[in-house]
Structure 1
Amino acid sequence: MKVLESENVVEMIYLLYKERVDCIYISHNVLKYNINEFFDVKEPVYFQHQLPIGKQAYLLSTINHPEILAKFDVFLKNNQKKINLLKLKHQIIIE
């Protein structure tokens, strides 16, 4: 067995479709986005949900501008329905 590393996600998906690699370790959301954006394929790629995955987080932090965090908190609270609709529309899975 040989491990191949790359920072180019599209290249890794291409290698998977060409059967040059057996599997790739990638976020489900990143995989779906890149397949939809850059590939015109009929064969599905299967995501193994039973395998361990790394949790992803997007954090906002500031020392100098606490008012921005307060505004963002209000935005998230007031727009939860819209945010959830966007997640559904773009098939974003929150584990």
Structure 2
Amino acid sequence: MPIQYTDQLNLLKDILRNQQEDCCGSVSECEQIERTVKSLLINGQLPAEAVEILNDIYKYGQQGKNTQHLDTHIQNHQEQLSNWVNEIDQFS
């Protein structure tokens, strides 16, 4: 059973918030970010401004899963992570 739109947004927000607060994460979290963003983009319920944000989050997840230094990647994106969480709140 697929999860609902708001549940997907909450999942994405939780992963991003955890990475922002803990300054660390896992490759599986980055893969989950990618899957969740893809699903949200396919869904079509998003406002236009959310699509650009989700594309940025998707790129972040891709770069994270492919880097050898994931914790450094997360630390370098602290400001964006905080902004993304706040922006997701606005369209959830």
Q: TM-score, normalised by structure 2?
A: 0.28
Q: TM-score, normalised by structure 1?
A: 0.28
Q: Which has the higher helix share?
A: 2
Greater RCO structure (CA 8 Å; 6+ sep): 2
